[in-house]
Amino acid sequence: MSRAPSTQSRHLLEVKDLRTHFFTRNGVAKAVDGVSFSLDRGQTLGLVGESGSGKTVTLMSIVRLIPKPAGRIVSGEVLLEGRDLLKLSDRDMREVRGAEISVVTQDPMTSLNPLYTIGNQMEEPLRYHQHIRSHSELRSHVLDALKKVGIPVPERRMKSYPHQLSGGQRQRIVTAMAIECQPSLLIADEPTTALDVTVQIQILRLLREVQKEMNLGMIVVTHDLAVVARVCDVVAVMYAGRIVEKAPIVEMFEKPSHPYTQALMKAVEGERDATGRLYTIEGQPPDVRRLSPGCPFAPRCPKVMDICRGEYPPVASLSSQHTVSCWAAMKENGIEHIGLAPGVAS
């Protein structure tokens, strides 16, 4: 799907051919290897994948928080409203983080400072990014943000310490902190994984409401398709550092085309065979330090063909917004391989 490079940016965020590699003693781990996607304001993208698929590294590359020196963004572009974040100085990037892009992480206990009150730490981004100095103004901003995320009695909560709050409330506080500087892009990394199931729905609902109300672009990284089904407009499934399938949410659930996506769907639905055994995907996810030239899912794939082992499939369009990288899916949908270099072989 190589479109002519559009110089005028219509998208809020455009990630082009991002590659982030980790240089370790045991070889180069291609954690993210050629990821491209775009996101508009008011849209929520789900990045789904298992551990090691590169979903978190993709996010951390967008905000440039890759652990150095092992990790390095080796190529690609991350355009936020047309500006390439990868070309910014560290200082300029700090201005972007927390102001234009905010991150909600998995564990609200570790993302809050245990030694400061909620009010205290919520004022910090306002001081830093919006240069607000007056106490009463800071306070009213914080109270507004707390009210927006449904914290009861915010005046009292401002004086609490993180350990005095429950997990769900902490996640609400972290969300309040993320939106108080009016960002345009909100990134949530496994926002509900650490929470109880009955609390998860409440937090997902909050994220959805905040995103709609502020017309944010949102990226939700998760291993859980149920989370995606509840809040996302578009889903991208990652495997071994690449996006293997991307589609609008309903289309993805109705017509999953990559064998890996199909397998994930069966797994979450708890599908069983005639003997009552659960459907499984055999084998293990691959080691991204030792990838063969072919499709990395080939060793586990029920539809594997000869070509899969030798050559990584190109990105094929199944509909205007549905793309897949799979030789078998191309064959099933009657898409010819037009001998062109796939552009992703490396």
Partner 1 sequence: MTIQDRTRPATPPASAVITIEAVSKVYPVRGGVLKAVDNVSLSIPRGKTVGVVGESGCGKTTLSRLVLRMEPPTEGRVLFGGRDVWKLGRSERKGFHRGVAAVFQDPYSSLNPRHRVSQIVLEPVRVNMGRESGGLSRVRLNDLLRSVGLPEAAAGLYPHEFSGGQRQRIAIARAISLSPDLVVLDEPVSALDVSIRAQILNLLKDLQQQIGGAYLFIAHDLAAVRHMSDEIAVMYLGAVVEYAPVQAIYNAPKHPYTQGLLAASLPPDPRRPNLDATIFGEIPSPIDPPSGCRFRTRCPIAVAHCAEERPPLRERGDGHLVACHLAD
Q: Which residues form the interface with partner 1 (CB under 8 A)?
A: 50-51, 166-169, 196-202, 204-205, 208, 223-226, 228-232, 249-250, 252-253, 263-264, 267-270, 272, 277-282, 284-285
> Which conformational region is residue 283 in: left (phi greater than 0), alpha (psi within -120 to 50 degrees), or beta?
left
Nearer to partner 1, 198 or 320 (CB): 198
Q: Token pair for residue 63?
A: 């905000």
Give the integer Cα–Cα distance in Å for 343 and 314.
8
The least distance separating partner 1 from the CB of residue 61, rounded to whole angstroms, comes to 22
Query: In the complex, what is the shortest distance from the CB of residue 96 to partner 1, in angstroms, rounded to a whole number?
Result: 30
Nearer to partner 1, 88 or 214 (CB): 214
Nearer to partner 1, 91 or 277 (CB): 277
**Helical axes 197-213 vs 167-179, angle rounded to 10°:** 10
- Cβ proximity to partner 1: between 167 and 342 the closer is 167
Supply the minimum distance, in Å, between the C-beta of residue 158 and partner 1. Answer: 20
- CA–CA distances in Å: residue 232 to residues 187, 202, 207, 227, 268: 12, 15, 11, 8, 17
- Output 114 or 152, the one with its CB closest to partner 1: 152
Q: At its nearest, how many Å lie between partner 1 and the CB of residue 267?
A: 5
Cβ contact 11:37 at 8 Å:
no
Nearest Cα residue to 186 out of 59, 33, 325:
59
Answer whether the bond into residue 69 is a cis peptide, omega within 30°. yes
Q: How far is the CB of 275 from partner 1 (least distance, A)?
A: 10
Judged by beta carbon, residue 69 or residue 270, the one nearer partner 1 is 270
C-beta of 16: minimal distance to partner 1 in Å? 27
**Do 73 and 61 contact (CB within 8 A), yes or no?**
yes
